[in-house]
A and B are shown apart, each in its own frame.
Chain A
Amino acid sequence: HSHLLELLKRTTVHGESNSALIIGPRGSGKTTLLNHVLKDLREMNQVRENLLEVHLNGKKNPFLSGLLQTNDKVALKEITRQLQLENVVGDKVFGSFAENLAFLLEALRRGNRSSSCPILFVLDEFDLFVHHKNQTLLYNLFDISQSAQTPVTVIGLTCRQDILELLEKRVKSRFSHRQIYLMNSFDFKEYIKIFKKQLSLPAEFPNEAFAQKWNNNVQHLSEDKTVQDVLQRLFHRTKDLRSLHLLLVLAVSAVTVHHPLPTAADLQEASRQHSSDSRANIVHGLSVLEICLIIAMKHLNEVYDGEPFNFQMVYNEFQKFIQRKAHSMYNFEKPVVMKAFEHLLQLELVQPLERPSARAQREFLLMKLLLDSSQIMEALQVYPNCPTDVKQWAASSLSWL
């Protein structure tokens, strides 16, 4: 933080040009950090404003997001807009991309270290700018930052660790190689602290008594064994703080007037919701026939070691089961089974290997099952009113022998 603050301060105060990259996994607070630094910086500028009454708008912050600026052309237009250079141009129509680029470069070239106002370029999702043709924008930005023109600071935000390898060699040479890595390097104790801080009410909360009560409860929660278990599991899975937020929101949303304080049970419930397997959930809602088809597919997978199958194979497998074993199952007609199969296809539990073509018959399209056998077994355990012989069949493909 202090590093970045220092860097930006130098740009504004000394008119020095710089470039830096902030690299960190998703949810590690890159943007938050930058915004925080900018806030601090603005406060400082305000201090200066009070003292000298000159620094009216010391900074412009073109925030460029790679997701919005899909190519250099759009990005350039956006920069121009944000720098408020349009008014200079007046009625001059912005024609080609080339003209635009030349215009902007000209604009930036005019300035020098001491007189012109420093500019901060923030490139969000920096990795997307890398894919622009020839990396023209990046080259030019870095080139400006490396030459005696208008002072600029280029800050890129990205989550890709290999970003430097994506830069072209000339662009790379111009980049100052100032990288700030953000990692979630805290351990579980700190994680608990963060949890407490996130959940507790701030001091400004109007109802002081309630805040006191709530905060005490949070303190209790953090010491509770089950809560710690839940958190530990989440922590082991991911250190991303956003997932913690999600979990807490789920838990806190259970709070009502009659149930004013969140309990460990709430948290557990939230965690269960949070970590449940989406595909397994889908399996819960299937009919018995569909489950049977899935089981047949599972057996096929086991027999042929993950080779793709087609509907006919699944149907034959299903027929075998019906004829030999099943007494509780009604022998469905083939079109009905086909319908059930198509439903599975729509739910994307089954995926065709290639696009369905008009020529190939639907029965013989090669398919793959998108479920793991463990998922199927788990789902069967909780499936209500499942016939026993189906369960037996699922457990062993040879059970009918």
Chain B
Amino acid sequence: MNTRQQSKLIYSWYGKPLSSDRKLRTSQYKGILITSESTKTETCIQLGDFILVEGVNADQPYVAQLMDLYEDGAQHKRAVVQWFCRLEEIPQNKRKLLKREISAQEVFFDQILGYDTDIAAETIIKSIVVLPLHLGEELPIVTLNKEQTFYVKQSWDGKCFKVLSPDTFSKLKEANKKKGVITNSSKAFIPSDTFTPVKKETETVLCSATKTKNADMEMESKHSASKSSLAKDRHSQRVANNDIKTPTARKKLELNSPTRSKGRLLGCEVLGLLDDDCDAIAPLKPSATKRKVKFTGDVLGSPPKIPCSNDKPKSTSETAKQHQSFSDTLRLSPYTKIKDCSEKDKNLHEKGNILSPVGYQKPSSQSPVMTPRSRRTCAQKTSALIAEQISLLKSYGKLAAEEDVLSGSDSSYSSSSEEEEDDDVPCTPEKKTKSSRIFSTPKSSRKSAVHTPAKTLKKTGTPRTPRNATPEIPRRLQAAQEPASVLEEARLRLHVSAVPESLPCREEEFQDIYNFVESKLIDGTGGCMYISGVPGTGKTATVHEVIRSLQQAAENDELPPFQFVEINGMKLTDPHQAYVQILEFLTGQKVTATHAAVLLAKLFSTPGPKRKTTVLMVDELDLLWTRKQNVMYNLFDWPTQKHSKLIILAIANTMDLPERIMMNRVASRLGLTRMSFQPYTYKQLQQIISSRLKGVKAFEEDAVQLVSRKVAALSGDARRCLDICRRATEICEFARQKRAPEIVRMAHVTEAIDEMFSSPYVNAIRNASLHEQIFLKAILAEFQRAGVEEATVQQIYHHHVALCRMEGLQSPTVSEIMAICSRLGACRLLLVEASSKYLHMRVRLNLGQDDVMYALREE
């Protein structure tokens, strides 16, 4: 799948233009031929085929179905496709809507309108197989072509998953079948009832009876060939592990069951064709609906068809059991017909199984007549839906297990196992050896059936250990207590983490950013915005709010959908890690930083067909600074690329960051869209607090005002404001234990503010020991004497001794002085040199002389 190796590919049209529009100078084609120069191989891709399209991620090309091919006026080869999306393309938060595990092989029928379905034909890589499945079915065990087979179960329209509508299901199936035929016989052109213009041509081909016959013969042989190969394949599988065998057979039942009546009918269309051929009475140009009707008629009125179906005589050595089995399948199908492919179906199915032994004899008389027909049906279907049968393996294994466990009675158990035996036969009708093998050793097969439940149970029972285990903090074992009192409630609301419904006082900024991103989203272009402001002014919160409302709008289809990626400079260990994180957000790959940079550059510089707009929020931008500034350069360069669809919201603290640290070329790419968040004024802070406390009467008005005025005067940091309020509630609560004021008053707030803003130094000095204080005095004296704010310990020591003499204290030794000095140094009241200099160590005060004087004078 390496696209780089396939760079030498030549794309040419297959066949002549089907129709051309003179005015627009476009012409449509039915297929495209991809010729690889290096290997000289030609691949033909037809309309309706499933293809891989080059995408963002080289390892994961997009999956699509080819709907139309045309050449436009400028001689560019274009293709119209129906997208399928992989799990990786679905946003993380939506994945949980699925409520089930998704394998890498599964894709979703894409119904998002935003994507460009018109792509350049050169982006097509190769054709693949996409098989529709029902929701309840498990993915099959893929034996071959693992890389190129995908399964589709549900459709995805950007908001929710839906079960495939029968219409799309049938379309997909049909396309699939056709594809199978084409790959089988590349030359023989098998007609099908598509709505493409190809129809006419192919149908004319059909007209000539001999030709059709030939084709049919060829097809038949191909079918048998494939079948036999499949049978062999399966046989080997069977030998390998017995427990898979039974599900294979059981799956057959499901195939017959008309829960997917459409699919079945479609599958039968080929059969119908064959019938036509045999009878030579069928209309040559039957419409699809007609044919369906006809076929159902066939089923109902199968007896008259006996002779013709007997053209291909089956083995006569079929036992009654085998007939029973067919009747069984036939009988079962009506049951399932009523039901959907949900769990109900399973239950009913089970019922059917239990019932089956009762009805064994009844239909046996009729069944011989039916057998060949149903047999052929089966054969046709097998060839058309090989992979699908395999795909059902697992689900049936499970089902069987369930049934077996549920069915308590012996009879029902045996019946189910018997049934399993029987079902083996129709699935490989051509392989008589196998059927005989089964019948000759019924015990062994029964044994296998007995084994089945245990094994399958085990299989499903063991929880798969996910490769990328997501770490999780152990859950707390006891529920967190809910706030009991008003104050606790208030404190909870005042916590910074409590996200308010709206951000008061940031409406203007909100609107500005919103408009910016919205306009870029609508235009589908890229752009940068630089947001600055001191810490705690709500920059990040506002951007998050904007994104949230934009996402809401996108969900309501008011805006094109977009991806949101957030990186934080502080949370990166290295600026280059930014690439890794962005790439991981976008594609889920984990690569090294340099490789990620290359991939991202490719991603943003090449036009992608299904590219969503990406909104990238870069928090703490200044930390992405490197000496060459290549990280910042790249970040701001991408939005200027034509196809990038990247919107960057860069956040940092300083207003003049672009001018200060960025090189000119980086700053110029950042553009001039700037916004600065002013620190909150006291009124705004007041509003913030009161909006958070709405409905809780915990604070006095004056108290709130005091806090907000105080904080606004200092920094305007909303976080600080909230912290003070929280502390005030605590103090209030503490005080309440004695008396009973339920409300935070001025006194509490003042206390909290004092606690937070009081200078620790004065307090520390006052609590220092006597000699420490004398030492500080000595320092002051020395400073005054020398006029320099620095002194050696020796000089201070002399002063200290002198001071001690004045106070009438015993003067300490030099060692003690050194101890005092280092203690004060540890508290950072003093700045001291390394102590190896001993007496010549220089000392400096870490706070103003006035502060020291003030602190010492108080005593």
Interface, chain A (partner B; CB < 8 A): 2-3, 6, 13-17, 23, 25-26, 48, 52, 54-58, 72, 83-85, 88-90, 92, 96-98, 101-108, 110-111, 113-119, 134, 136, 139-140, 143, 146-151, 159-162, 169-170, 172-174, 176-179, 181, 183-185, 233, 235-240, 275-280, 348, 351, 368, 370-372, 374-375
Stretch of B202-210, B270-278, B640-648, B761-769 at the chain-chain interface:
B761-769
Residue of B nearest to A72 (CB): B573
**With A115-B476, A237-B820 as contacts: A169 and B535 at CB distance below 8 Å:** yes
Stretch of B97-105, B317-325, B610-618, B808-816 at the chain-chain interface:
B808-816
Q: Which residues of A contact B763 (CB under 8 A)?
A: 181, 183
Q: Nearest-CB distance from A388 to chain B (Å)?
A: 26
Partner of B571, one of A25, A89, A101, A147: A101
Q: Which residues of B contact A136 (CB under 8 A)?
A: 570-571, 573
Q: When chains A and B are docked, how far (Å) is the Cα of A150 from the Cα of B536?
A: 21
> Would A14 and B734 count as touching, CB distance under 8 A?
no
* 27 pairs, A vs B, C-beta closer than 8 Å: A25-B764, A48-B478, A55-B477, A58-B477, A58-B478, A97-B573, A98-B574, A106-B470, A117-B473, A117-B476, A150-B473, A159-B826, A159-B827, A160-B827, A161-B828, A161-B829, A169-B534, A170-B653, A177-B723, A179-B760, A235-B769, A237-B770, A239-B768, A239-B769, A279-B814, A280-B813, A370-B840
Q: Which residues of A contact B571 (CB under 8 A)?
A: 101-102, 105, 136, 139-140
> Would A146 and B814 count as touching, CB distance under 8 A?
no
> Would A115 and B840 count as touching, CB distance under 8 A?
no
**With A25-B823, A134-B570 as contacts: A56 and B760 at CB distance below 8 Å:** no
Q: Nearest-CB distance from B557 to chain A (Å)?
A: 29
> Would B719 and A162 count as touching, CB distance under 8 A?
no
Q: When chains A and B are docked, how far (Å) is the Cα of A254 from the Cα of B570?
A: 57
Q: Which residues of B contact A179 (CB under 8 A)?
A: 755-756, 760
Known: A280-B814, A351-B837. 17 other contacts (CB 8 A): A3-B734, A14-B480, A55-B478, A84-B474, A97-B573, A102-B571, A116-B472, A139-B570, A161-B760, A161-B761, A170-B570, A177-B724, A181-B763, A236-B809, A238-B769, A275-B815, A351-B838
Stretch of B357-365, B449-457, B495-503 at the chain-chain interface:
B495-503
**With A15-B476, A98-B574, A372-B794 as contacts: A183 and B767 at CB distance below 8 Å:** yes
Chain B positions 464-480 with a Cβ under 8 Å from a chain A Cβ: 469-480
Counting chain A CB atoms within 10 Å of each CB, the highest count among B478, B719, B814 belongs to B478
> Would B839 and A372 count as touching, CB distance under 8 A?
yes
> Would B535 and A117 count as touching, CB distance under 8 A?
no
> Would B477 and A107 count as touching, CB distance under 8 A?
no
Residue of A nearest to B480 (CB): A15
Please give me the 4 A-B residue pairs with the lowest Cβ-Cβ distance, nearest first.
A173-B535, A107-B471, A183-B767, A15-B480
Q: When chains A and B are docked, how far (Å) is the Cα of A206 from the Cα of B853?
A: 53
Partner of B769, one of A106, A173, A237: A237
Say if the beta carbon of B772 comes within 8 Å of chain A: yes
Say if the beta carbon of B717 comes within 8 Å of chain A: yes
Q: Which residues of B contact A238 (CB under 8 A)?
A: 769, 771-772, 819-820, 823
Q: Nearest-CB distance from B30 to chain A (Å)?
A: 50
> Would B492 and A16 count as touching, CB distance under 8 A?
yes
Q: Which residues of A contact B814 (CB under 8 A)?
A: 277, 279-280, 372, 375
Q: Which residues of B contact A148 (CB under 8 A)?
A: 497-499
Q: When chains A and B are docked, how far (Å) is the Cα of A147 from the Cα of B719?
A: 11
> Would B536 and A162 count as touching, CB distance under 8 A?
no
Chain B positions 801-844 with a Cβ under 8 Å from a chain A Cβ: 801, 809-810, 812-816, 819-820, 823, 826-829, 837-840
> Would A181 and B760 count as touching, CB distance under 8 A?
yes
Q: Which residues of A contact B369 (CB under 8 A)?
A: none
Say if the beta carbon of B68 comes within 8 Å of chain A: no
Partner of A116, one of B473, B770, B823: B473
Say if the beta carbon of B395 comes within 8 Å of chain A: no
Residue of A nearest to B771 (CB): A237
**With A173-B717, A233-B810 as contacts: A368 and B475 at CB distance below 8 Å:** no
Say if the beta carbon of B784 comes within 8 Å of chain A: no
Counting chain A CB atoms within 10 Å of each CB, the highest count among B469, B497, B498, B768 belongs to B497
Partner of A173, one of B470, B497, B536, B726: B536
Partner of B496, one of A15, A26, A147, A240: A147
The interface on chain B, measured as residues whose beta carbon lies within 8 A of the other chain's beta carbons, has a size of 79
> Would B474 and A116 count as touching, CB distance under 8 A?
yes
Q: Nearest-CB distance from A379 to chain B (Å)?
A: 11
Chain B positions 46-99 with a Cβ under 8 Å from a chain A Cβ: none
Partner of A111, one of B473, B620, B755: B473
**For chains A and B in complex, what number of residue pairs have CB atoms within 8 angstroms?**
221
Q: Which residues of B contact A370 (CB under 8 A)?
A: 838-840
Say if the beta carbon of B488 comes within 8 Å of chain A: yes
Residue of B nearest to A174 (CB): B719
Q: Nearest-CB distance from B724 to chain A (Å)?
A: 8
Q: When chains A and B are docked, how far (Å) is the Cα of A324 from the Cα of B574?
A: 73
Q: When chains A and B are docked, how far (Å) is the Cα of A49 from the Cα of B346?
A: 46
Q: When chains A and B are docked, how far (Å) is the Cα of A90 from the Cα of B466?
A: 11
Q: When chains A and B are docked, how far (Å) is the Cα of A184 from the Cα of B572?
A: 41
Residue of B nearest to A117 (CB): B476
> Would B570 and A276 count as touching, CB distance under 8 A?
no
Q: When chains A and B are docked, how far (Å) is the Cα of A320 from the Cα of B47?
A: 115
Say if the beta carbon of B481 comes within 8 Å of chain A: yes
Partner of B471, one of A85, A172, A279: A85
Q: Which residues of A contact B756 (CB under 8 A)?
A: 177-179
Q: Which residues of A contact B819 (CB under 8 A)?
A: 237-238
Q: Which residues of A contact B536 (CB under 8 A)?
A: 173
Chain B positions 774-822 with a Cβ under 8 Å from a chain A Cβ: 794, 797, 801, 809-810, 812-816, 819-820
Q: Nearest-CB distance from A23 to chain B (Å)?
A: 6
Q: Which residues of B contact A278 (CB under 8 A)?
A: 815
Q: Nearest-CB distance from B390 to chain A (Å)?
A: 32
Say if the beta carbon of B577 comes within 8 Å of chain A: yes
Residue of B nearest to A48 (CB): B478
> Would A92 and B473 count as touching, CB distance under 8 A?
no
Residue of A nearest to B717 (CB): A173
Q: Which residues of B contact A160 (CB under 8 A)?
A: 826-828
Q: Nearest-CB distance from A103 to chain B (Å)?
A: 6
Q: Which residues of B contact A90 (CB under 8 A)?
A: 469
Q: When chains A and B are docked, how far (Å) is the Cα of A194 from the Cα of B477?
A: 42
> Would B572 and A58 count as touching, CB distance under 8 A?
no
Q: When chains A and B are docked, how far (Å) is the Cα of A386 from the Cα of B573?
A: 66
> Would A6 and B816 count as touching, CB distance under 8 A?
no
> Would A147 and B497 count as touching, CB distance under 8 A?
yes
Q: Nearest-CB distance from B700 to chain A (Å)?
A: 22
Say if the beta carbon of B846 comes within 8 Å of chain A: yes
Say if the beta carbon of B33 comes within 8 Å of chain A: no
Q: Which residues of A contact B767 (CB under 8 A)?
A: 183-185, 239
> Would A25 and B826 count as touching, CB distance under 8 A?
yes
Say if the beta carbon of B351 comes within 8 Å of chain A: no
> Would B471 and A106 count as touching, CB distance under 8 A?
yes
Q: When chains A and B are docked, how far (Å) is the Cα of A108 from the Cα of B772?
A: 45
Q: Which residues of A contact B488 (CB under 8 A)?
A: 14
Q: When chains A and B are docked, how far (Å) is the Cα of A92 from the Cα of B727?
A: 43
Partner of B476, one of A6, A96, A116: A116
Say if the beta carbon of B580 comes within 8 Å of chain A: yes
Say if the beta carbon of B730 comes within 8 Å of chain A: yes
Q: When chains A and B are docked, how far (Å) is the Cα of A374 from the Cα of B767?
A: 30
> Would A162 and B846 count as touching, CB distance under 8 A?
yes
Say if the beta carbon of B141 comes within 8 Å of chain A: no
Q: Which residues of A contact B483 (CB under 8 A)?
A: 14
Say if the beta carbon of B720 comes within 8 Å of chain A: yes
Q: Nearest-CB distance from B253 to chain A (Å)?
A: 41
Over the window 237-252 of chain B, the binary record of Cβ atoms lying under 8 Å from chain A Cβ atoms (1 yes, 0 no) is 0000000000000000
Say if the beta carbon of B119 comes within 8 Å of chain A: no
Q: Which residues of B contact A16 (CB under 8 A)?
A: 491-492, 495
Q: When chains A and B are docked, how far (Å) is the Cα of A3 from the Cα of B751?
A: 14
Chain B positions 139-174 with a Cβ under 8 Å from a chain A Cβ: none
Q: Which residues of B contact A240 (CB under 8 A)?
A: 823
Q: When chains A and B are docked, how far (Å) is the Cα of A176 from the Cα of B718?
A: 11
